[in-house]
Amino acid sequence: MILTEYADSMKRIFAEQQDIAQAMSQLALSGRAVPTDAQFLALMTKQWGLVQQIAALSTQLMIGIIAPIK
């Protein structure tokens, strides 16, 4: 992976997080942002997956697996 691929991946993840935030705010406004709601759980699970992807990408960047642009 090169640095531009890393940046593109992070942009995609942040866009997905924005979508999750919008959906979560709609749930909150409707009073359904509670742990027993299936849609809330699905959103939180998706968010946790994105956090794990960010951690993996950041770790790769820190240990030098991601190559600079040539």
Q: Picking from 1-5, 19-23, 58-62, which range would have the lowest pLDDT averaged per residue? A: 1-5
Verdict on whether the full-model pTM lies above 0.85 = no
Report whether pLDDT(29) > 80.
Answer: yes
- For residue 3, the model assigns a pLDDT of 84
Question: Is 19 among the domain residues?
Answer: yes
Domain, as residue range, for 54: 3-63
Question: Is 35 among the domain residues?
Answer: yes
The two structure tokens encoding residue 23? 């959906």
What integer is the mean pLDDT of 4-32?
Answer: 95
Question: Is 69 among the domain residues?
Answer: no
Report whether pLDDT(70) > 70.
Answer: no
Residue (of 70, 63, 49, 56) closest to 4 by Cα position: 70
Question: Is 12 among the domain residues?
Answer: yes
Residue (of 9, 24, 17) closest to 51 by Cα position: 17
Question: Is 70 among the domain residues?
Answer: no
* CA angle 30–32–39, rounded 5-degree value: 120
Count structural domains, the chain. Answer: 1
Question: Is 58 among the domain residues?
Answer: yes
Question: Is 39 among the domain residues?
Answer: yes
Question: Is 68 among the domain residues?
Answer: no
- For residue 65, the model assigns a pLDDT of 75
